[in-house]
């Protein structure tokens, strides 16, 4: 088994803290290219253009990024420092609205800076560096724990359907929705995976199929509109998907098309699991109706990935990046602290002592 991929450091802070190196995920699977990020515009573009993507990886990159930018602030007093720090923080936070890990990581870094208000700026920077490196280390630990809980839901001979990409490239190690599959492969379980192509950005085709194939897992790529047929054929025993934000009532936002998969799974009596770290659960967000859905450029449907445009230039496009799966369709939400089940207001609240 090729274990290099899910142990790869796809978002890395330089030893001197001056820059961040990422794998440019827009070039995969054809080319593996690395980008060095230094300026505010570098970090914003990398997140907005999905050069770095996946809720946990976005959070890690943003935490690293705001630390790198903090090092460039020319200020000797706290008030001047925090004013510029907040300017950078707000700018990075505006790059993508749906994934809560982005604001979660940036706010966590802000809290560290706030706690250091009585310290010299040099000491605040030391605290910020320690915090952003801890965010990445925590994510690796959380992914391993999620993988263990998810693995407990699998059995010999299963067919697993997944939508979008929630593997090592989207996190810091095993991944969330793909983590149990990699762990199962390590432990010799026989199973197969059906990966939805996942419009409009084809992350299932470009990234999930790539990661699973390299790990030696039996993976079959299907278009999104084929999910119903493979379920009807009896080839799917469970659905594993990631998430970008989970509301307090258990509604979960994930890449567009996920809610359709959940509806199909309910029709065919197939368990549907959402996997993600507790940092993705937003207890300040009451329901899925409160989750802002990111809209992306029409050309991602009409032009992207095609040699020639595949739709008339004048045609209108509606291109949401995410949809929200109603909690009633979710069998369980798998976190690093355990598997939550309905009623989610209660089970998710218990995770946070509420």
Cβ neighbourhood burial of 108 (10 Å; 0-12, 13-18, 19+): middle
Query: Could you give the CA distance from residue 95 to residue 321 in angstroms, rounded to a whole number?
Result: 14
215 burial type by CB count under 10 A (0-12 exposed, 13-18 middle, 19+ buried): buried
d(CA 311, CA 62): 35
Question: For the chain, how big is the Rg over CA atoms in Å?
Answer: 20
Task: Confirm if 88 and 70 have CB atoms less than 8 A apart.
Answer: yes
**Which structure tokens are listed for 80?**
């001047």
Report residue 227: phi and psi, to 5°.
Answer: -60, -40
Quick check: is 244 catalytic?
A: yes
Distances (CA, A) of 196 to 27, 47, 161, 166, 207: 19, 23, 7, 12, 11
Q: Can you tell me which residue has the tokens 């067919």?
A: 159
Other residues' Cβ atoms within 10 Å of the Cβ of residue 219: 20
Give the DSSP H or E segment for 170: none
244, 251, 282, 323: the active-site residue:
244
- Buried b / exposed e over 268-305, threshold 16 CB at 10 Å, is eebebbbbbbbbbbbeebeebeebeebebebebbbebe
Torsion angle of alpha carbons 342, 346, 348, 352, nearest 10°?
-170
Catalytically active residues, by annotation: 244
């Amino acid at each position: 088994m090729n274990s290099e991929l899910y142990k790869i450091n796809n978002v890395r802070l330089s030893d001197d803290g001056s820059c961040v190196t990422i794998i440019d995920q827009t070039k995969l699977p054809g080319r593996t290219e690395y980008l060095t990020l230094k300026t505010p515009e570098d970090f914003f573009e990398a997140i907005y253009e999905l050069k770095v993507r996946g809720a946990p990886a976005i959070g890690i990159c943003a935490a690293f990024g705001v630390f790198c930018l903090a090092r460039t602030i020319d200020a000797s007093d706290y008030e001047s420092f925090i004013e510029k720090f907040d300017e950078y923080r707000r700018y990075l936070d505006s790059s993508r609205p749906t994934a809560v890990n982005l604001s979660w990581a940036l706010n966590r870094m802000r809290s560290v800076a706030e706690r250091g208000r009585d310290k010299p700026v040099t000491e605040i920077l030391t605290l910020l560096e320690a915090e952003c490196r801890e965010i990445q280390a925590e994510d690796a630990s959380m992914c391993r724990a999620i993988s263990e809980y998810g693995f407990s839901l699998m059995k010999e001979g299963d067919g697993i359907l997944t939508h979008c990409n929630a593997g090592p490239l989207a996190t810091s190690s095993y991944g969330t929705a793909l983590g149990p599959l990699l762990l199962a492969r390590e432990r010799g379980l026989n199973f197969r995976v059906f990966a939805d192509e996942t419009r409009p950005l084809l992350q299932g085709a470009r990234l999930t199929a790539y990661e699973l194939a390299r790990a030696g897992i039996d993976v079959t790529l299907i278009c999104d509109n084929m999910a119903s047929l493979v379920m009807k054929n009896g080839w799917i025993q469970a659905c594993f998907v990631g998430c970008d934000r989970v509301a307090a009532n258990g509604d979960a936002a994930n890449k567009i098309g996920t809610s359709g998969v959940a509806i199909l799974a309910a029709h065919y009596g197939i368990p549907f699991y959402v996997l993600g770290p507790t940092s993705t659960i937003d207890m300040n967000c009451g329901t899925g109706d409160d989750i802002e859905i990111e809209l992306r450029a029409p050309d991602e449907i009409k032009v992207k990935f095609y040699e020639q445009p595949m739709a008339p230039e004048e045609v209108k496009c509606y291109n949401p990046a995410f949809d929200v799966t109603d909690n009633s369709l979710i069998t369980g939400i798998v976190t690093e602290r355990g598997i939550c089940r309905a009623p989610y207001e209660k089970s998710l609240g218990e995770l946070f002592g509420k």
